[in-house]
């Protein structure tokens, strides 16, 4: 509908269109997003219904649809909104300490109710166009923010030159996510410590170099590709 846009264009530069973050609208927005997260936690993404969210938020269904065009967008915004609280970047002085602290923080987030709900949704809705970029952004940001942790260790001489920081971080988190997603084993501080130890050993052994710097076996056939 061009009406609003044209109005904005006409009034642009004049009186403020509307300050966000105040008024009834902000309350409604917050209530709905909170209700969305709560529904995600309880029934999961697949069984989340807009009507359920609206009811829980004490708001009418059409009000939800006025702000968010569909279920995906609503969930996406709810996730984005609560992804701010992230795991901190540690600096303990030693790589081992840093990795353990990082791993434990991650486990702590993943086992907290909101973290669990957010993560499960991110995984379950990977195909949804509105959700996928959020997932990518969340994890890429996490990788990038924790790379200095490895860089410092290389500078301190704890790791060989040529070690890929991203690979180290991935090696830390991989077994944690494996247990969460595949084996459904419980994860706790011990899991975190073990993951950190593995990554440390591999890094010290010099096998965590960038992908393109590896010697052999690139792009060889994997052996059991299936027809069809």
Partner DNA sequence: GACTAAACGAGACGGTACGTCGAGTCTTTGT
Partner DNA sequence: ACAAAGACTCGACGTACCGTCTCGTTTAGTC
Among 61, 109, 154, 160, binds its own copies (CB under 8 A): 109
Q: Does 129 bind DNA (CB under 7 A)?
A: no
Measure CA 217 to chain center. Answer: 32
- Does 9 interact with DNA (rule: CB under 7 A)? no
Should residue 69 be labelled a site residue for its own copies when binding is judged by CB under 8 A? no
Among 51, 91, 141, 185, binds DNA (CB under 7 A): 51
Establish if 59 lies at the interface with DNA (CB under 7 A): yes
15 binds, among its own copies, DNA, none (CB under 5 to 8 A by kind): DNA
Rounded to the nearest 10°, the torsion over CA 142, 146, 148, 153 is -150
What is d(CA 119, CA 111) in angstroms, rounded to the nearest whole number?
A: 10
Residues 136-155 binding its own copies (CB under 8 A) are 136, 139-140, 143
Q: Find which of DNA, its own copies, none residue 186 binds, CB within 5 to 8 Å per kind.
A: none
Tell me which of 17, 69, 113, 129 binds its own copies, using CB under 8 A: 113
Contact 143, 166 (CB under 8 A): yes
Give the pair of three-digit tokens for residue 36.
Answer: 């969305």
Rounded CA-CA distance 91/100 in Å is 11
Query: In this chain, which stretch among 8-16, 81-89, 107-115, 153-161 interacts with DNA, using CB under 7 A?
Result: 8-16
Of the candidates 66, 88, 97, 162, which one interacts with its own copies according to CB under 8 A?
Answer: 88
Q: Minimal CA–CA distance to 75: which of 1, 143, 133, 142?
A: 133
Which stretches of 112-218 are DSSP H helices?
113-124, 132-156, 165-178, 189-204
């Amino acid at each position: 509908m061009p009406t609003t846009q044209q109005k904005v264009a006409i009034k642009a530069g004049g009186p403020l269109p509307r300050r966000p973050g105040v008024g009834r609208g902000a309350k409604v927005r917050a209530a709905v997003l909170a209700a969305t997260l709560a529904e995600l936690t309880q029934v999961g993404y697949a069984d989340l219904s807009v009507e359920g969210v609206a009811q829980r938020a004490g708001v009418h269904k059409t009000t939800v649809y006025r702000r968010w065009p569909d279920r995906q967008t609503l969930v996406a915004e709810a996730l984005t909104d609560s992804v701010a609280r992230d795991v901190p970047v540690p600096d303990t002085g030693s790589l081992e300490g840093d990795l353990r602290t990082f791993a434990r923080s991650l486990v702590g987030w993943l086992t907290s109710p909101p973290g669990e709900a957010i993560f499960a949704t991110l995984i379950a809705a990977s195909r949804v166009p509105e959700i996928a970029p959020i997932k990518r952004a969340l994890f890429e940001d996490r990788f990038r923010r924790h790379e200095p942790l490895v860089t410092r260790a290389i500078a301190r001489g704890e790791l060989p030159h040529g070690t890929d920081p991203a690979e180290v971080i991935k090696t830390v988190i991989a077994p944690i996510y494996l247990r969460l997603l595949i084996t459904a084993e419980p994860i706790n501080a011990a899991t975190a410590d073990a993951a950190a130890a593995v990554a440390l050993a591999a890094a010290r052994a010099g096998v965590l170099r960038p992908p393109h710097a590896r010697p052999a076996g690139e792009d060889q056939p994997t052996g059991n590709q299936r027809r069809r």
